[in-house]
A and B are shown apart, each in its own frame.
Chain A
Amino acid sequence: MFGKNRSTIEKIKILKSIKADEAFKFDLRKKMIEEGGVVIKPIFSRLQKQQGMSILQLLKINPLNKNMFIPLLLVAALLGSGAGVTYASQSSLPGDALYPVKLVSEKAQTVLIIDDAKEANLHLKFSSERLEEVEELAKKGEKNPKHVKLAVDNYKTELAQVQTILNSAPENSAQTTQIAQNITDTVTQNKIILVRVSKDFSEDDDMIDILKEAWEEAIEHNDTATILLLQNAVAGQTPVNTAGNTAPNTTNTTNTNNTTTTPTVTTTAPSTNNTTVAIVDPVTQTRVLNKIAEANHKISEAERYIVKKESKGIDVTQAKAQVATAKTLVVDAQNLLSQAKYSEAFLKAKEAHKTAEAGKKLVENDYRGKSHNEDKDDEDDDEIIFIIPSAATTTAPSATTNTSTTPTTVTTPSASTNQIIIDSKHDDDDKDDDHDDEDKDDDKDEDDHKRN
């Protein structure tokens, strides 16, 4: 009966090309699992069918690579049997024969996980693992930078994976906030490890360069997560009534000398903004303060470097301009902070950091381009590379190489809990130090380290 209509039917079937976006499908699937509480049984064949990929693709391994053959067999046998972990490989380090097996078994763990937060945590755990491996290598006196690079590259990859998860998570959800928080916690720990390791490898330029990469990645990811936390914190607050210079028009408002009577802490604002401040916890403020401190530290570092290279005849005018800009940005950031505009303040501080860094790089490139004889006195990169500045020691950078602790324009919240704040000591030419009575968790003071 439908014979004559065949071509019509064919034409209708053209519409089969209408499909849903992959991204949409992925999101919905996630939602179904989250909200619907669907539980997936982790059986490989099911996943394979669904993902439409072979497991090997998922694990990104080329099975033809003969170095992978035996480890793969091992893994395949073990995974097939339902076990997941090859214990011999777990303690291996980059450069060991079984190291690839360790990485593969880690990846296998991630394949089974559908829950975002758990997956993010897993990748964070792996990232820490990578740095611990570097530390082990350092303790063993590893000489081959390639091994360290391997670990650091993987470290970067793990962080990138976490980032992807964070990016695809719904904004403002509790889970996203949790993930971001975990990121900042883990990365801060990572930084501590890097500081330790940098001392062990201080002699080796190549190693330090590799570690720098890891450091920068850490900072980037920490910042991204922090920004998210700041935004979410703001979103959850009562709206800030920034009513300019006018008198406050809500009932429980602050008085004109800029301190609230509410249990929150505000910073003394140099401006005449005397409005109600949103309920803020010290944690949020400290995040911004830490970033500002970081920027200031970078500015000081850049300044010192500039001055030293200037005496060698390098043209530093542009660099100095950059540093000046950076300082202005820091002031902007502090202003924004006092207005409780946390995200903006944080971003400004980050910009300041970048600008100062760029200034230093200008001089660095010039210097490295010109002179090839590395004077091994304190010239080259005597800077302390890895410092985790504390908000308590926010120093206003001065033009001299003596960075003294001047009174800051930002009052720090007293007795902040929940913050990993590491006191740093500037040791170059200064003897100044400013220990605040901060709660020190289980973190120790990190000493400055001078590189030869």
Chain B
Amino acid sequence: MQENNNNQLEYLMENYNELVDQIFRFTYLKTSNKEIAQDLTSECFLSTVKYLKENEVHNLRAFLFKTARNKIIDYYRQKGRVIYSDEAVLANEEISGKDELVNKQDAKLMTEKIRLLNDDDREVLTLRYLEDLDIKEIADIVGKSQMATRVQIFRALKKAKLLIEES
């Protein structure tokens, strides 16, 4: 048992760079704020490391995303609002000329556009196409059935298409 935990920790450290980018991207697209995203990413990883010392997880990647997701929910809860609507996220808007993360015009544009989607839609799209997770993993992360996830992705993509074509 111990051996397995070490393996998972090992895997975590070996793929650290990639995983951090993924989680960071995920939290950033959800919170639109670099500092908050960094904090949440840190928390996610630190608590994962802690957890992995005693336990084993089924799927490390999914576990990380789930943890990150929970941290985000906690964060918003702490802030006193339950944010699932777009307005509140937009209020956190950090995309400006100064934002170092998104340098290229395209990326900036896309970030704005993707914000226009609602939270759930945005989430499944990023998990699917940015983080390349499979349906099973996404379903696990968002807590829905695989079928529901598939449908959501399909619909979200359609909405995204409309948004993007609009320009």
Count of A residues near B, CB < 8 Å?
32
Question: In chain A between 4 and 37, which residues have their CB closer than 8 angstroms to a CB of chain B?
Answer: 5, 8-9, 11-21, 24-25, 28-29, 31-32, 35-37
- From A2, A13, A17, A25, give the contact of B17 (CB < 8 A): A25
B89 at the interface (CB under 8 A from A): no
Residue of B nearest to A52 (CB): B17
Question: Which B residues touch A2, using CB under 8 A?
Answer: 154, 157
CB pair B125 A12 closer than 8 Å = yes
B63 to chain A, nearest CB (A): 15
- Determine the distance from Cα of A424 to Cα of B48 in the docked complex, in whole angstroms: 56
Question: Which A residues touch B103, using CB under 8 A?
Answer: 17
- Determine the distance from Cα of A13 to Cα of B132 in the docked complex, in whole angstroms: 10
Question: Which A residues touch B164, using CB under 8 A?
Answer: 8, 11
B65 at the interface (CB under 8 A from A): no
CB pair A32 B49 closer than 8 Å = yes
Question: Which B residues touch A32, using CB under 8 A?
Answer: 13, 45-46, 49
Question: Which A residues touch B134, using CB under 8 A?
Answer: none
A399 at the interface (CB under 8 A from B): no
CB pair B24 A20 closer than 8 Å = yes
CB pair B38 A24 closer than 8 Å = yes
Q: Which of the candidate stretches B68-76, B80-88, B106-114, B138-146 sits at the interface with the other chain? A: B106-114
- Determine the distance from Cα of A452 to Cα of B125 in the docked complex, in whole angstroms: 79
- From A1, A11, A31, give the contact of B154 (CB < 8 A): A1
- Could you mark each residue 131-167 of chain B with 1 if its beta carbon is under 8 Å from any beta carbon of chain A, else 0? 0000000000000000000000010011011001000
- Determine the distance from Cα of A36 to Cα of B49 in the docked complex, in whole angstroms: 6
Residue of B nearest to A37 (CB): B53
CB pair B16 A29 closer than 8 Å = yes
CB pair B25 A15 closer than 8 Å = yes
Question: Which B residues touch A24, using CB under 8 A?
Answer: 24, 38, 41
- Determine the distance from Cα of A12 to Cα of B50 in the docked complex, in whole angstroms: 33
CB pair B20 A20 closer than 8 Å = yes
Question: Which B residues touch A8, using CB under 8 A?
Answer: 157, 160-161, 164
Count of B residues near A, CB < 8 Å?
39
- From A14, A31, A41, give the contact of B107 (CB < 8 A): A14
B36 at the interface (CB under 8 A from A): no
- Could you mark each residue 74-104 of chain B with 1 if its beta carbon is under 8 Å from any beta carbon of chain A, else 0? 0000000000000000000000000001111
B135 to chain A, nearest CB (A): 13
B14 at the interface (CB under 8 A from A): yes
A66 at the interface (CB under 8 A from B): no
Question: Which B residues touch A46, using CB under 8 A?
Answer: 13-14
Question: In chain B between 17 and 43, which residues have their CB closer than 8 angstroms to a CB of chain A?
Answer: 17, 20-21, 24-25, 28-29, 38, 41-42
Known pairs A20-B38, A24-B38, A31-B42; A50 contacts B16 (CB<8 A): yes
CB pair B13 A15 closer than 8 Å = no
Of B13, B42, B161, most A-chain CB atoms within 10 Å: B13
A367 to chain B, nearest CB (A): 51
- Determine the distance from Cα of A36 to Cα of B54 in the docked complex, in whole angstroms: 12
CB pair A12 B110 closer than 8 Å = yes
CB pair A19 B106 closer than 8 Å = no
Known pairs A18-B29, A29-B16, A50-B17; A12 contacts B106 (CB<8 A): no
A70 at the interface (CB under 8 A from B): no
B118 at the interface (CB under 8 A from A): no
CB pair B14 A31 closer than 8 Å = no
CB pair A20 B21 closer than 8 Å = yes
A40 at the interface (CB under 8 A from B): yes
Residue of B nearest to A35 (CB): B46
A10 to chain B, nearest CB (A): 9
CB pair B114 A15 closer than 8 Å = yes
B44 to chain A, nearest CB (A): 10
A60 at the interface (CB under 8 A from B): no
- Could you write out 19 A-B pairs with CB less than 8 Å apart? A5-B157, A8-B157, A8-B164, A14-B110, A15-B25, A16-B25, A17-B102, A17-B104, A20-B21, A20-B41, A24-B38, A25-B17, A28-B41, A31-B46, A32-B46, A35-B46, A36-B49, A50-B14, A50-B17
Nearest first, the 7 A-B pairs at minimum CB distance are: A36-B49, A20-B24, A8-B161, A18-B25, A19-B21, A12-B129, A14-B110
Apart from A11-B110, A37-B53, what 12 extra A-B contacts exist at CB < 8 Å? A9-B157, A12-B114, A15-B107, A16-B25, A16-B130, A18-B102, A20-B20, A20-B24, A28-B20, A28-B46, A32-B49, A35-B46
